[in-house]
Amino acid sequence: MNLTEWIIAIMEQLGYVGIALLMFLDNVFPPIPSEIIIPSAGYSASQGQLILTGVIIAGCIGSLLAAALLYWVGYQFKQDSIFRWVDRYGKYLFIKSSDVKKSLDWFEQYGHRIVFFGRMIPALRSLISIPAGMSRMPFWKFMFYSGLGTIIWTTFLATVGYYFGENQALMHQIFSKVGYVIITIVAVLISWILYRKHLRKTRS
């Protein structure tokens, strides 16, 4: 049984609870991608097995629970302890301490907005919550930005699965193009932030 078949089997057995569980795992275990989970659930909704709104809500709940857990980990533990744990056990989650360090650098350099965009970028989605907690970002603000990004991304994935689930080639093409769009938006945002910082330095 491959990964896609396993994901579909979980959803068939557990329904919305299975979707929430899989999206929780997606955020703490990157090899389980939301790009398979939610479109598959969206396609099931198009076949009358699930309700599209329920798919979106379940997916968002699972993602945000995982985000809150990882935020708590970053908030409660010292940086050295987190890096030591990742060095020892991160290989089982396909995470390296350099990845955590990179996401922390991104967070410190580009601010809270990166949480919003990070919810739509696979690799960053699993890591950005920890630096948010480590930096003591207000929890309400973290959940607000996370919620916005999660709702947008989950709704998009579910809708694509609902309307294009039978055409896997077209669906993957849509995801690849959207990935480039998101990366472009993030690049523009970063450039704008750096430009503003440069202006402040020149004025001071």
Looking at residue 170, what is its pLDDT? 61
Whether the CB-CB separation of 59 and 21 falls below 8 Å is answered with no
Taking the C-alpha atoms of residue 122 and residue 33, their distance in angstroms, rounded to an integer, is 7
- pLDDT tens string 36-46: 888 888 888 98
Whether pTM exceeds 0.85: no
Taking the C-alpha atoms of residue 100 and residue 142, their distance in angstroms, rounded to an integer, is 17
Looking at residue 47, what is its pLDDT? 86
* Residue 65 CB-density burial (10 A; 0-12 exposed, 13-18 middle, 19+ buried): middle
Taking the C-alpha atoms of residue 39 and residue 19, their distance in angstroms, rounded to an integer, is 11
Mean pLDDT along residues 129-136: 86
27 band by pLDDT with thresholds 50, 70 and 90: confident
Residue ranges per structural domain of the chain: 3-203
